[in-house]
Structure formats: structure tokens, C-alpha cells
Structure 1
Amino acid sequence: MTGESSLRIDKLLWFLRFAGSRSLAQDWVAEGHIRLNGRRIERASTAVRCGDVLVLPLRAGVKVIAVGTLPRRRGPVEEARGCYEVLDAAGSPPLAGQEINPAHP
């Protein structure tokens, strides 16, 4: 962990590579679709701490993550992935055209 005890959510989303730029992260937060510990947030300055749970609406579906450590920078993908844990690993919907249960045609 860094010497900081919290990080702005817009900066965190950019560092963890969920947003392509910090300004896109700010816009995403302002839309009000992100939840922090079950609470809807709309301010890019909202502080995120280790252990917090984020619900992120992504194109592929909703992703729930727990922040493990606060990143110091926007590093490589592997470094970013090491800072959080995905809590909904089984929750991705099937792709269009795929059978939900192939055992029952």
C-alpha cells in the first residue's frame, strides 16, 4: 500500500484501467451508476479505501470488486489487477447466440 489511506475514485478507476482517462472516469462517476459500499456516488472526489467494495457497470455486465491495495500509479495490467479482487466471478451472462444450458437442447 502507498503512504496514502485513500484515493479519489476517478483516479482509482483510471489507475486500475477501468477508464481510459481520468476525465472519462470523472464523467462515468458523475452519471451516478457506480456504487461504493452499496451507496450510489456522483462525485469524482469521493475517497476510496482498502477494503471498499465497488459495483461497476461495464459493457460486458456489472463487475463487483473489492479494493485490496491502493495503486501508486497507472501501471501495467498485471499490476492493476493485483490491487483488487473480483467478487462476482460467476456472474457474467452468456454471449448472444450461446445456449444457457447445453445439456438440455
Structure 2
Amino acid sequence: MTETAKLRIDKWLWVARVVKTRSAASTLCEDGSVRLNGIKVDQAHKAVRIGDVLTIGLNSRIKVLKIVSLAERRGPFSEAQLIYEDLSPEPPPREELPSPVAERERGSGRPTKSDRRQMHRFRQDDE
């Protein structure tokens, strides 16, 4: 492509594999979740050029991508990574969650297998 080449922003987002479908890219643009060089984009047909910076709000993350090249077709992820430079800030560190196996006090909740065996032995002694 030439230096003055342009591409629709929704198509570029789809080709760069930021979103799964082109209609999802259009929706993202129309929702106002995309900024082109700091200006909010409200139409999917806006043109992007090499050197433009996109700020994209995805779920609970913010991606900042600088367009390095324009591609005509959607290729594998390894090729898609070559058409932009990721300038996104580092995500904040995740809080450590408690272990999935929670400790419980003895006697609370369902009895364990050994508890059931002890109850069974105790009941047999009474008979």
C-alpha cells in the first residue's frame, strides 16, 4: 500500500484481530469505545492511516495501538501482530484470591468420610 493509503477503522480492527467479527468492530466504533488520535469515533467508516493511534476500551481493559501498516486480508494472529505496535499500559496487579479449597472448622458443614465412619461405629456400639 502507498503512504496515503487508508482503511476503514472497523475493517482494520477486524484485520488486526482486536475483535472476532467485523460487525463487532462496527458496534465497538458506534458505541464510542474507540478513539482515533484522541478523538472519539462514532462511525465505523472513519479512515485510518499508518501512524494513527487508536485507544480502544475492551471489557475492563484499555488497549492503545499504533498503526504500523495496513493489511488487505485477515491472516493469522502472528501476522496481525505485525500491523500494530501495542502501547497499552501495564494492567494493575491482580489481587490474590483465597485458595479454592477453603478451610472449615471441624464439625461445620457436611461430615467427611472419616466422620461418617466414626458416627457409624458409634451407632453400632449403642445397639
1:77 aligns with 2:88: no
Segments of structure 2 that go 5 or more residues without pairing to the other structure are 98-127
Structure with the higher fraction of residues in helix conformation: 2
1:7 aligns with 2:7: yes
Supply the distance in 2 between the matched residues of 1:8 and 1:93 (Cα, whole angstroms).
32
Higher relative contact order (CA 8 A, sep 6+): 1
TM score, norm. by length of structure 2: 0.70
Q: Percent identity?
A: 41
> How big is the shift at 1:91?
2.2
Aligned to 1:97: 96
Number of residue equivalences = 96
- Which has the larger Rg? 2
For 2:18 and 2:91, the matched residues in 1 are separated by 17
Give the TM-score of the pair, scaled to structure 1.
Answer: 0.83
Aligned-residue RMSD, C-alpha: 1.6
Letter in 1 for 2:11: K
**Cα deviations across residues 47-73 of structure 1 (Å, max 9, x unaligned)?**
000000000112351011100000121
Structure 1 36/28 Cα, relative in aligned 2: closer, same or farther at 3 Å? same
> What does 1:7-46 align with in structure 2 at a 5 Å threshold?
7-46=7-46
Describe the superposition over 1:48-102 as per-residue Cα deviations: whole angstroms up to 9, x where unpaired: 00000000112351011100000121000010000000113x421222437xxxx
Provide structure 1 residue ranges, at least 5 long, that are not aligned to the other structure.
99-105
